[in-house]
Amino acid sequence: MSKGILLIEDDKSLNRAVSLKLSKEGYEVYSAETLKEGWELYQCQDIVLIICDIGLPDGSGLDFCSKVRAIKERTTVFLFLTAMDTETDIIMGYEVGGDDYVTKPFSLAVLISKVNAMMNRYCENILSIRKSKNDSCIIKSVDIIFDKEKKFVIKGGEQLFLTANEQRLLLYFLENPMKVLSKNQLLEAVWDVDGNFVDDNTVAVNIRRLREKIEENPSKPSIIKNIRGLGYIWERKCEKL
């Protein structure tokens, strides 16, 4: 399985240090110092994870993430590097499709730990949705059909495009319908078992984004409901086809 990582960071020393450390971890690293260089690499290489600074000489990493997410057939994992650590800045990163972030200054050990966890989850997600002998690879609920083997989601007869985290979140709900799932359960299943580097807003933001894609009225959800003080529930029956 590909382990291609695209690093976009204009600080030459930091770019070199992170690239070297990732390479020693066994990853294939493609580095760029501008968004233009990064986009050219992204288009011609098999990239699994993007590590991108937000403030770059030729634009914003937020806009770059939006551009990446517009390529619907790719589910690249996106990690922001940012010196902006206010709640608004962090939420903006999630809103444009980011999966996680690291606030500058940071230690290389923390960054590598996060990257390893994200890459492991990516690989596990690919493996988990492959068809097994005794398990159907297709789940249906209301007008949503999830093909776990092909990572293909259809709603109302049309393909539904989701980020990697949104897809994992949807699958977890579909595999656990009519059950109240706590925030910690969702963090452990979709992000990380200990959640050391996951922001408190992660679950809420991703659920809101998922609701906007599957609910008729996201402001009054009827499928993914919030159970105050307990968590969330997929309030629809599911069947394996």
Give the DSSP letter string of 152-176.
EEEETTEE----HHHHHHHHHHHHS
Which pLDDT score, from 0 to 100, does residue 200 have?
67
**Total number of domains in the chain:** 2
Which pLDDT score, from 0 to 100, does residue 195 have?
46
Which pLDDT score, from 0 to 100, does residue 135 have?
55
| Contacts (Cβ under 8 Å, ≥6 apart) of 171 | 129, 139, 146, 148
Which pLDDT score, from 0 to 100, does residue 37 have?
96
pLDDT string in tens for the chain (241-residue length): 456 899 999 999 999 999 999 999 888 999 999 999 999 999 888 898 999 999 899 999 999 999 998 886 677 899 998 877 667 777 888 889 899 888 888 889 989 998 988 887 776 665 554 444 445 688 999 999 998 877 889 998 788 889 888 999 999 999 999 999 998 899 888 886 444 456 768 899 999 999 999 999 999 999 999 999 999 999 999 988 7
Q: Of 128, 148, 172, which residue sits at a domain end?
A: 128
User: Which residue range is the domain that position 92 belongs to?
Assistant: 4-128
Angle (nearest 5°) at CA 165 between 50 and 39: 25
Q: Of 65, 93, 128, which residue sits at a domain end?
A: 128
Cβ count near 220 (within 10 Å): 9
Separation of alpha carbons 55 and 81, rounded Å: 9
Same domain, yes or no, for 88 and 166?
Answer: no
Same domain, yes or no, for 149 and 232?
Answer: yes
Separation of alpha carbons 194 and 187, rounded Å: 8
Which pLDDT score, from 0 to 100, does residue 198 have?
64
Q: Where are the beta strands (DSSP E) in the chain?
A: 4-8, 28-32, 49-53, 55-56, 59-60, 77-82, 100-103, 138-141, 144-147, 152-155, 158-159, 180-181, 224-227, 231-234, 239-240
Same domain, yes or no, for 108 and 86?
Answer: yes
Which pLDDT score, from 0 to 100, does residue 87 have?
73
| Backbone phi, psi, residue 176, to 5° | -135, 55
Tokens 């009827």 correspond to 222
Which pLDDT score, from 0 to 100, does residue 134 have?
46
CATH code of 112's domain: 3.40.50.2300
| Contacts (Cβ under 8 Å, ≥6 apart) of 41 | 6, 30, 32, 47
Cβ count near 175 (within 10 Å): 17
User: Is residue 214 situated within a structural domain?
Assistant: yes
User: Is residue 133 situated within a structural domain?
Assistant: no
User: Is residue 111 situated within a structural domain?
Assistant: yes
Which pLDDT score, from 0 to 100, does residue 190 have?
86
Separation of alpha carbons 124 and 168, rounded Å: 11
Same domain, yes or no, for 66 and 121?
Answer: yes
